[in-house]
Structure 1
Amino acid sequence: MRIIPKVLTALLCSSLAFSAASHADEISSRVFKVGFVQAKNHPHGLGAQKFADIMKEKTDGKIKVMVFGSGTLGGDAQVISSVQGGIVDMTMVTPGLLAGIEKGFGMYGMPFTFENAKEVDAVLDGPVGQKLLETLPAHGLIGLGYWDHGFRHVTNSQQPITKLEDLQGLKIRVQQIPTAIETFNQLGANATPMSFTELYTAMETRTVDGQENPLAAIETSKFFEVQKYVSLTGHFYDPLVAIFSKKTWDKLSATEREIVLEAAAEAQAYERKVSREMDVTARESLAKHGMQVNVLAPEEIARMREHLKPVTDKFTQEYGVELVQAMTNEIQKVRNQQ
């Protein structure tokens, strides 16, 4: 069953009322541009292509979606700005990159928040996730839902990470997000914020020792060519926010908006499935490519979580105690059912 965020339902109802008066609900010939930083064979790219295919099918080819991967249209920050300006029509970004627009999105990036996909989906598809999506139209964006990126793990060229102390002094590239920077600095690493589009070269030239990303991103970006060790820390879970340009949205008829919503919902379900399947196969593939994969002991994860309490406490205050508590309550409901 297709789930449409409340804010989109309101927007859709508004457009339907307008359409009935103006008879503007026909499908016009249009071209949408979707840009993102991952490779086209990454789940993000596969999800974007699924969206494009569905749009083509549902509009009999009238609406064409052009898919631009590997940072062709710029890094995440640049593409978000382009979506707000209507230059790019859609992208998928980690929530922390939206925290400068709406600070609550940053809470997803707090360390060791989620343990599994059930907890993730309960939060994202429930009242907490939808409440944050409802804030986006005021910032020139339409939130189409949440895709999957996966749990993030550390890779580096120096040594396996088996305990907290192994991170000491390692220069680790992180996203340009405060929670990521402070998390790794607190763990003793030298956090180095950098655009994803610059990362491969930085590792190849040893400008940085390592980085942290989900396994599918590590594999599809061929980081195994410049990294030796992957340690399954699972320190952050990254959803993606699928965002659409409000400038483009406002030009669409009610029928076109309904099709966009349907295509986005179907692409979301597909991308989540593919991403989670690829997370399993990527681990095997990275080992075959010569990377040494190690799992951290549960007690070591607990040590890291406790060591990061100052970071968690700080950002709980920053992002909103009530909002973070609402997220925690949703997670606890899932854990109580297991």
Structure 2
Amino acid sequence: MTIETLTRQTRRSFLATGAAALAMPALATRGLAQQTYTCRIAHTEGIGTPITNAFDAWTEMLNTRSGGRIDAQHFPAAQLGGLAEALEGSRIGTIQVTTAGPDSEEAIAPEIAALGGAPGFIYKNEAHVDAVLQGELGRRASQIAREKTGVEFVAYGETGFRHILAKRPVQSLADLEGLKIRVPQLRIWVDFWSLLGAAPTPLPYSEQYSALSTGIIDAIDSDVFSIEGFRFYEQARYLTLTGHWFLPKAVRVNAAWLDSLPQDLQDLVRSSAQEAFAEQRRVNRALADQTLEGLRAQGVEIFALPEAELAQMEARTEPLFEQFGSVSPETAEMIAAIRALG
């Protein structure tokens, strides 16, 4: 029951029953005095994408199911800053929730980064992704994140497999030679594309469109929903389907904020996140082909990289598993565990 409803009922009861209503102001006061917990949800995902729609749905769940005790506010599309700001905000608590691939923890917790698709080609298909993230390894990653970064992974969404969007056709491994491709500001991505002969260019996510426009970069790698949602196809018209990197999106909640909630609200945050992002994964997978057709209708030329070329990409980047695993025994163990489930 909302505070407004309680107040209206209090007034009606006072008029109808006279003296019996004298007890009601105390009830109204207790209702008005209940603590409200602000939950700012901020991320860089595009408006209209399945993951942003899931955050919309989750925001409504939190507000409604908490009876107003949680005041959830949703700021998509980098409205409160880029990915670096969102990650730092979620760690220190200036925002309560964001989303990013677990690979964003490369410097702090490299064993978690492995779950974010690092290095490339670690995930074979969507069933493999589910076996990892919805099982024991996903739960272990959340606990490690709590201990090392101050956030809890309450659920996992996804943007799906990433492909190459370029200003010129990429139809073979040779076409990657010297290609100026934007990468996140993480070493593992730089190493991945360097092994393939490209010229990786670290840039913030929010600068991709303008960098394509000005020629700072020739290409990006991205999921199809972001290509459509951020209209990257306006600056690069050639999409090569490689599926080289699958990017899960951990729903990251500041652990101190979560622990400050009453137990019933902690349970609500976790259970409703699981519900909202299970649906997000279903929708994301169902709409991928439809989104590709929408891009084709916008004039994007779409190629499938031949299997032999994909096999060469995998072979060239295979050394990254050993290189990345050498960071720590825990990282090597996590990589082995992920690959074993595939």
Q: TM-score, normalised by structure 1?
A: 0.87
Matched with 1:213 is 222
Matched with 1:62 is 69
Q: Where has structure 1 moved over 3 Å in runs of 4 or more?
A: none
2:329 is aligned with 1:322? no
TM-superposition CA deviations, 1:156-212 (whole Å, max 9, x none): 112x21111110111000112222111111111100111111111111111110100
2:79 is aligned with 1:72? yes
Structure of higher CA gyration radius: 2
Matched residue SS, 1:151: strand
Distance 1:321 1:84 in 2: 25
The answer (yes or no) to whether the contact 2:123–2:339 under 8 Å persists in 1 is no
Once the two structures are overlaid, the 10-residue window that deviates more, 173-182 or 210-219, is 173-182
Whichever residue aligns with residue 284 of structure 1, its letter is E
Select the structure with the greater relative contact order (CA < 8 A; seq sep ≥ 6).
1
Distance 2:238 2:249 in 1: 26
2:237 is aligned with 1:228? yes
Matched with 2:190 is 181
Return the offset for 1:27: 6.9
2:201 is aligned with 1:192? yes
Whichever residue aligns with residue 281 of structure 2, its letter is R
Q: TM-score, normalised by structure 2?
A: 0.86
Equivalenced residue count is 305
2:153 is aligned with 1:143? yes
Whichever residue aligns with residue 45 of structure 2, its letter is Q
Matched residue SS, 1:38: coil
Counterpart mapping for 1:117-136 below 5 A: 117-136=126-145
Matched with 1:297 is 306
Matched residue SS, 1:129: helix
Return the offset for 1:133: 1.0
Counterpart mapping for 1:241-320 below 5 A: 241-318=250-327, 320=331
Distance 1:197 1:256 in 2: 33
Matched with 2:119 is 110
Distance 1:326 1:115 in 2: 14
TM-superposition CA deviations, 1:203-242 (whole Å, max 9, x none): 1111110100111111111011111100001111100111
Sequence identity percentage: 26
The answer (yes or no) to whether the contact 1:44–1:92 under 8 Å persists in 2 is no
Matched with 1:154 is 164
Question: Residues 27 and 184 from structure 1, CA distance in 2 versus in 1: closer, same or farther, beyond 3 angstroms?
Answer: farther
The answer (yes or no) to whether the contact 2:152–2:253 under 8 Å persists in 1 is yes
Distance 2:119 2:235 in 1: 28
Matched with 1:89 is 96
Distance 2:332 2:40 in 1: 37
TM-superposition CA deviations, 1:282-314 (whole Å, max 9, x none): 111111111100001111111111111222321
Give 5+ residue unaligned stretches, structure 2.
1-32
Whichever residue aligns with residue 56 of structure 2, its letter is Q
Matched residue SS, 1:233: strand
Distance 1:274 1:229 in 2: 25
Give 5+ residue unaligned stretches, structure 1.
1-25, 332-338
Distance 1:185 1:193 in 2: 12
Once the two structures are overlaid, the 10-residue window that deviates more, 206-215 or 319-328, is 319-328
The answer (yes or no) to whether the contact 1:27–1:253 under 8 Å persists in 2 is no
Distance 2:59 2:34 in 1: 16
Matched with 1:98 is 105
Distance 2:261 2:72 in 1: 14
Matched residue SS, 2:327: helix
2:167 is aligned with 1:166? no
Return the offset for 1:57: 2.2
Matched residue SS, 1:290: coil
Distance 2:108 2:286 in 1: 32
Whichever residue aligns with residue 152 of structure 1, its letter is R
Distance 1:112 1:175 in 2: 17
Whichever residue aligns with residue 247 of structure 2, its letter is D
The answer (yes or no) to whether the contact 1:231–1:293 under 8 Å persists in 2 is yes
